[in-house]
């Protein structure tokens, strides 16, 4: 296909017009883009690019280029020891200050680093415990009911209560009580108790925890009747517990209680 066509001008002469013959007999005129003020026309070229009104974009690009050039200049050479020590180097971090964990730490949105394990009790975080052993009731002559302080169980699964009787009048009997305070009972303790026969001395144990073989002393009415008897209760440990020695009958006895919480 042949491009370009001839046309006649006003004087009757012929002029060549640049076209592109897109299909046989159909021509599209070729034109050039120019720009300029009234009365002038400048051809678009590499030397004279077409002006555009994209100033905001150009300004943003120039700002990025300036920032990149600045960074490139800053990292072109490493900082000297003197430069590093001249001023504190800021570190942007979300980690809070180092602190020793407590048993009442609240939830925190900040990341924390802690080498010690904690468990969540539904409200706050508490430090995870290992095996705990302590005295609940000190050895003393007793002729009335005595209740130990309440122990808070964080993550213990099994509990051994050990009763040590060093003196017991033949007429004195007692109840060895394990007290728990389940939620929803208004603070009223739930009791599991064993009767200690008159005149008995020595060690007596109660093992408490899930999966234990139920053994309530091996005698009717939970009567602990010999030294070394170990009773066991198959139940889940509650959040808090205490023990009590309840004196019954005349006379007195000398006894102490210790506990061991296992994980």
Q: Is residue 80 part of a domain?
A: no
**pLDDT tens for each residue of 210-227:** 888 777 654 433 444 445
CA dihedral 128, 214, 242, 246 (to 10 degrees): -160
Determine the pLDDT at residue 134.
94
Local structure of residue 105 (DSSP, 8 states): B
Q: Checking DSSP bridges between strand 202-209 and strand 230-234, what pairing results, if any?
A: parallel
Q: From first to last of the 263 residues of the chain, give the pLDDT tens digit.
A: 688 888 888 888 898 999 998 998 899 999 988 988 898 899 899 999 888 777 777 788 888 999 888 877 776 677 778 877 887 766 666 666 666 777 777 776 666 666 667 888 778 888 888 899 999 999 998 888 999 999 988 888 899 888 888 888 777 778 888 888 765 555 567 777 888 777 888 888 888 888 887 776 544 334 444 455 567 888 888 888 999 998 887 778 899 999 999 87
CB atoms within 10 A of CB 109: 6
Six-digit token pair at 82?
A: 């003197």
d(CA 98, CA 89): 19
Any domain includes 180 = yes
Collapsing DSSP to helix, strand or coil, 59 comes out as helix
Predicted pLDDT at 95:
66
C-beta neighbour count of 202 within 10 angstroms:
13
| 30/17 Cα distance (integer angstroms) | 8
List of residues 6+ apart from 175 with CB closer than 8 A: 193, 194, 195, 196, 244, 245, 246, 248
pLDDT at 138: 94
The CB-based long-range contact list for 52-55 (8 Å cut-off, 24+ gap) reads: none
> How far is the C-alpha of 91 from the C-alpha of 100, rounded, in Å?
23
In a domain, 41, yes or no: no
Give the Cα separation of 83 and 64 in Å (integer).
26
User: Does residue 114 lie in a domain region?
Assistant: no
Q: Is residue 123 part of a domain?
A: no
Beta pairing partners, 160:
207, 260
Domain of residue 149: give its range: 132-262
The reported pLDDT for the residue numbered 216 is 64
What's the distance, Cα to Cα, between the start and end of the chain in Å? Answer: 95
- The alpha helices in the chain, defined as continuous H runs, are 55-74, 81-86
* Interval 40-67: pLDDT, tens: 899 899 999 888 777 777 788 888 999 8
141-154 residue pLDDT tens:
888 899 999 998 88
- DSSP, collapsed to helix, strand or coil, labels residue 119 as strand
Longest C-alpha distance within the chain, in Å? 150
Compute the distance between CA of residue 144 and CA of residue 242 in angstroms, rounded to an integer. 17
Kindly state whether residue 226 falls inside one of the protein's structural domains: yes
Q: According to the model, what pLDDT value does residue 81 have? A: 80
Whole-number pLDDT of residue 29? 92
Answer whether residue 157 is part of any domain: yes
| Structural domains in the chain (count) | 1
Give the CATH number for residue 159.
Answer: 2.60.120.380
- 190 located within any domain: yes
């Amino acid at each position: 296909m042949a491009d370009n066509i001839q046309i006649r001008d006003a004087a009757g002469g012929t002029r060549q017009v640049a076209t592109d013959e897109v299909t046989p007999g159909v021509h599209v005129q070729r034109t050039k883009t120019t720009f300029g003020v009234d009365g002038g026309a400048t051809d678009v070229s590499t030397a004279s690019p077409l002006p555009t009104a994209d100033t905001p974009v150009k300004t943003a690009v120039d700002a990025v280029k300036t920032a990149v050039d600045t960074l490139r200049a800053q990292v072109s050479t490493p900082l000297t020891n003197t430069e590093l020590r001249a001023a504190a180097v800021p570190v942007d971090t979300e980690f809070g200050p180092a602190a020793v964990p407590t048993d009442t730490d609240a939830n925190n949105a900040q990341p924390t680093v802690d080498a010690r394990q904690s468990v969540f009790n539904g409200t706050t975080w508490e430090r995870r415990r290992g095996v705990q052993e302590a005295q609940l009731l000190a050895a003393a002559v007793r002729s009335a009911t005595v209740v130990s302080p309440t122990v808070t169980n964080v993550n213990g699964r099994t509990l051994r209560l050990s009763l040590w009787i060093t003196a017991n009048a033949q007429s004195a009997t007692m109840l060895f009580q394990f007290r728990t305070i389940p939620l929803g009972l208004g603070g009223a303790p739930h009791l599991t108790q064993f009767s200690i026969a008159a005149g008995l001395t020595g060690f007596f144990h109660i093992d408490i925890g899930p999966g234990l073989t139920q053994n309530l002393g091996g005698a009717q009415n939970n009567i602990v009747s010999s030294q070394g008897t170990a009773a066991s209760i198959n139940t889940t440990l509650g959040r808090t517990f205490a023990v009590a020695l309840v004196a019954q009958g005349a006379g007195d006895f000398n006894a102490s209680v210790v506990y061991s919480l296992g994980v």
